[in-house]
A and B are shown apart, each in its own frame.
Chain A
Amino acid sequence: MDSYFSILFTEVYKILFLLVPVLVSVAMIVWLDRRVWAFVQKRRGPNVVGPFGLFQSLADALKYIFKEIIIPASSNKLVFVLAPVVTMTLALISWAVIPFGENFVLADINVGILYLFAVSSLGVYGIIMGGWASNSKYPFLGAIRSAAQMVSYEVSIGVIIINVLLCVGSLNLSDIVMAQQNLWFVIPLFPMFVIFFISALAETNRPPFDLPEAEAELVAGYQTEYSGMMYAMFWLGEYANILLMCAMGAVLFLGGWLSPIDIFPFNAIPGPFWLIFKILFLFILFALVKATVPRYRYDQLMKLGWKIFLPFSLFYVVLTSSFLLYFDLLPGK
């Protein structure tokens, strides 16, 4: 019993050590997103609070905390309150398996990539619950849209993951990174990387696929009835998910914590920094897409997911596996 508690406390300490930086970086990433967006549109963006406006997110969070939480009278109250909690929790628990360096991971589980995939497929529930419990037309439509969209793009993300796994031979995320020591998977699987990036945009409801919250049609989609801290939790969960998708892209395709070339000035930088650089790089791509691409129509979105991405990534599975089989490169003999 005693040893159990000591294990428990060291784990809690480790979890805090992981989650606090993640939450802080989520706040910072919101600022970065708005700045990049502003620079593309030749505006200044948030630059008043603190140096370069760095504390803008903090100020926003304070504002959200002190705002009143309004729960609509006709809503389903328990589910309504639970929805942002579910979104936030699911966005945070997936960070447990992201490897920041060799042996620098909270939970080095055998089926890490399946865990990530499972948790991201649960993410849709926060949105459905929020939309349904609000008991109002716009949130409900937004939730339905978002659920259909996330389920569709998950399919192609799953097939893309299969492509990577064929080259690795293991479901462990550290193994996936170590398999890229000689060649990052972005080079042989470049088309899959592009499709993964676009699917990640759709999976996290980012523009140009932000149809669940298309303000011209649905006010704010599933978030319409939310206010104060509950809205902020949706928002934080969304950005934590975006960061997570970037981390997933970095681990699957950009070699995780590995340095691009294994010579002195590069490999002297510790692994976690490389992973953070890669996540930031992908995130800035996300922000640039948001700033430049107009929103898709819903039928175009579905057509892209089911009729273009899914067949193409399935074809690529066949291609990858035949290539590996023909040149006898299949791992894990």
Chain B
Amino acid sequence: MIAHTVFFYIFSLIAIVSAVMVTVSKNTVHSVFFLILDFISISCLFIMIGAEFLGMIMLIVYVGAVAVLFLFVVMMLNVAEQKGQWFSSRWDGGTHIPVGLLVSLIIFFELIIVIGGWKYKPDLLNSLSINISTQVTNTRSIGNVLYTDYILLFQISGMILLVAMIGAIVLTYRERAGVKRQSYVKQISRERSEGVDLVEAERNKGVKIDA
């Protein structure tokens, strides 16, 4: 099992170092790259404890989709312009520091609760009303509980995501005037009689089109 331990420490080390680098690195795009590295090493840890389904979903959803959007947004910011300003010591009233402190305190206490809960894990596993079989693959066992016991919560979280998605579209959508769009129906249903006109032109007068 020594190889297992070595790999565990390698991945954990990469995860922690890259998590620190996310906040430390001056270049925002580098931060996102470190975030991606962090996600990847976390999913490696998931795979190491045998939760390969979670690990792969982590890769597909966070690395494959969410982080791409992060990169999109961050790249659109003009990084050259921000240099020196992003982490400047300029005091802007200090509104962000109390909020940041509050959030980090909450996260700190949550972590304490999670680590404390580790002690009660064996009791918790025994007292579970759903039975988790160790014989089937974890994809199957997740599917078994997700779509039966937790179907309501699963559906509700799906609905919340859908509402958020529609809300984002509604908030950012604006109708612009004067945009030319291609309409396949219009193009295909165009007939010769509408497209071509034969005009009797008088000599030395010319013809006015689309009057």
Contacts and interface: CB of A to CB of B under 8 A. Distances in A.
Partners in one complex: yes
A299 B182 CA distance: 9
Contact of B60 (A1, A117, A300): A117
Task: Determine chain A's interface SS by DSSP, over half rule.
Answer: helix
Contact of B68 (A124, A158, A332): A124
Interface stretch (A14-22, A50-58, A107-115, A239-247): A107-115
Nearest to A121: B64
Interface string B118-147: 000000000000000000010110000000
Interface stretch (B8-16, B50-58, B200-208): B50-58
Contacts of A140: 75
Nearest to B36: A125
Interface in B52-109: 52-53, 56-57, 59-60, 63-65, 68, 71-72, 75
B72 A121 contact: no
B3 interface: yes
A171 interface: yes
Contacts of B75: 128, 132, 140, 144
Interface string B1-27: 011000000000000000000000001
A122 interface: yes
Interface string A136-174: 000010001001000100100010000000000001000
Interface residues of A, number: 28
Contact of A114 (B2, B60, B140, B182): B60
A111 B53 CA distance: 7
Interface residues of B, number: 24
B56 A118 contact: yes
7 contacts: A109-B52, A114-B56, A117-B56, A121-B60, A122-B64, A147-B72, A158-B60
The 8 closest A-B pairs by CB, nearest first: A121-B64, A118-B59, A114-B56, A118-B60, A4-B3, A111-B52, A110-B137, A111-B56
Interface of A: 1, 4, 76, 79, 109-111, 114-115, 117-118, 121-122, 124-125, 128-129, 132, 140, 144, 147, 151, 154, 158, 171, 299-300, 332
Given A110-B52, A115-B56, A125-B68, 12 more contacts: A110-B137, A111-B53, A114-B53, A117-B56, A118-B56, A121-B65, A122-B63, A128-B75, A140-B75, A144-B75, A147-B71, A151-B68
